[in-house]
Amino acid sequence: MGSSSLIRVPLVRNISQLPEDNYGRDGFSHVTVAGSALHGMKEVEVWLQTLTPGSHTPIHRHSCEEVFVVLKGSGTLFLASSSHEKYPGKPQEFPIFANSTFHIPVNDAHQVWNTNEHEDLQFLAIISRPPVKVFTYEDWFMPHIAAKLKFPYYWDEQCLQQPVKDEL
Amino acid sequence: MGSSSLIRVPLVRNISQLPEDNYGRDGFSHVTVAGSALHGMKEVEVWLQTLTPGSHTPIHRHSCEEVFVVLKGSGTLFLASSSHEKYPGKPQEFPIFANSTFHIPVNDAHQVWNTNEHEDLQFLAIISRPPVKVFTYEDWFMPHIAAKLKFPYYWDEQCLQQPVKDEL
Ligand SMILES: [Zn+2]
Ligand SMILES: [Zn+2]
């Protein structure tokens, strides 16, 4: 099959047929819409994520830019603009809703909750400079330097750690 | 009002209340969802664009990455993967549809048409390294070196050319 070690993917993809996984997290669903490991993106990556009522992302930070576009549902963004302090501290709360957009300042700790008990919260998350390096916090008062690096991140693990072998 | 020359925008924005313009192009609508000039983005920019039946983007190229997420309608992507040739040449045609995604290889000439006569085509376009530098072609056989640079691009013009003045 030649020397290419990339999986061939069609240029136009049906998002609802792309692989979806919860990566062991209850109430969570992630689809890599356009990714560095899967699709060869170098500068931007697009994810489709869904949170069931009551579920949430970890408290985390990353040094890339991130833009959210909320497609369905509503919830709360928690954001601590304190990357120059010792720890995130009490975050500000912002209501988010279908057809809203927001972006996360680089290195600010943040968390998205589905606080609507009746509906899933679904959004596109767009990041720069993939693959993402995520630092997670157990709580808002954990020092920045104690936040735990997870790299490659869950949805990048398989492709980054197990390069596809050429057929012989 | 102090020394900031940035327009203050709320962190969470209702996309349907953001400024929309056709920039003189019939059947076209553009909204900057998250932008460098408007919102201080440095690494990614997100646009919401709508094409009425029969309308299309110009044939163009740019050296940034671009990902499309189609929200509504259907149409055709024309893509000429010939940035190393003298001119784009006859493009390949790809059907695109609601809930599909595709990305444009850097520097490949491309054009999106709404070829569905019954419905608007609406998509998010995500680019890296804003603000975008767009080279437009009059046709697919115009040499790459004759393509016309438009910078700042239409939706970046006002903010990049007319910095907001401080109130005195
Ligand atoms: Zn994040
Ligand atoms: Zn383009």
The Cβ of residue A153 has, within 10 Å, a number of other Cβ atoms equal to 19
- pLDDT value of position B83: 84
Residues with CB under 5 A from ligand 1 (ion): A 66
Write out chain A residues lying below 8 Å of B96, CB-based.
Answer: 12
Cα separation, B121 vs A48, in Å, equals: 20
Would you state the pLDDT for residue A8?
65
Tell which residue, B33, B65, B96, has the closest CA to residue A70.
B33
Contact B22, B28 (CB under 8 A): yes
For position A149, what pLDDT does the model report? 97
Q: Is B18 exposed, middle or buried (0-12, 13-18, 19+ CB in 10 A)?
A: middle
Which pLDDT score is estimated for A9? 77
Q: A98: exposed, middle or buried (C-beta count within 10 Å: 0-12, 13-18, 19+)?
A: middle
Class of residue B164 by CB neighbours under 10 A (exposed 0-12, middle 13-18, buried 19+): exposed
Q: Which residues of B touch A41 (CB under 8 A)?
A: 65, 67, 103
**Are residues B102 and A11, on separate chains, in Cβ contact within 8 Å?**
yes
Compare CB distances from A11 to B13, B42, B94 and report the shortest one's residue: B94
Whose structure tokens read 């596809």?
A164
Determine how many CB atoms are found less than 10 A away from the CB of residue B168. Answer: 4
The count of other CB atoms within 10 Å of the CB of residue B13 is 18
Q: Which ligand is nearest to the CA of A105?
A: 1
Q: How many CB atoms lie within 10 A of CB A9?
A: 12
Residues B83/B108, Cβ–Cβ less than 8 Å: yes
| Cα distances (angstroms) measured from residue A26 to each of A54, A68, A137, A156, B63 | 10, 21, 18, 19, 40
The answer to whether the CB atoms of B41 and A65 lie below 8 A apart is yes
Least CA distance to A100: which residue of chain B? B14
CB contact under 8 A, B100 and A42: no
Which SS3 state, helix, strand or coil, does residue A163 take?
A: coil
Report DSSP state, residue B29.
E
Nearest chain A Cα to B100, which residue?
A: A14
pTM for this entry = 0.91
B26, B112 contact by CB (below 8 A): no
Pick out chain A residues at pLDDT < 50: 1-5, 161-168
- Tens-digit pLDDT profile for residues B62-79: 999 999 999 999 999 999
Among the listed residues B65, B164, B123, the one whose alpha carbon sits nearest the alpha carbon of residue A36: B65
CB interface of A with B, residues 106-165, below 8 Å: 124, 126-129
Low-confidence ranges of chain B (pLDDT < 50): 1-5, 161-168
- Tell me how long chain A is: 168
- The set of residues, in sequence order, having a beta carbon less than 8 Å from that of A153 and lying 6+ positions away, is A131, A132, A133, A134
Which two structure tokens, joined as six digits, stand for A23? 């990566």
Note the pLDDT of residue B7: 54
Enumerate the β-bridge partners of residue A29: A50
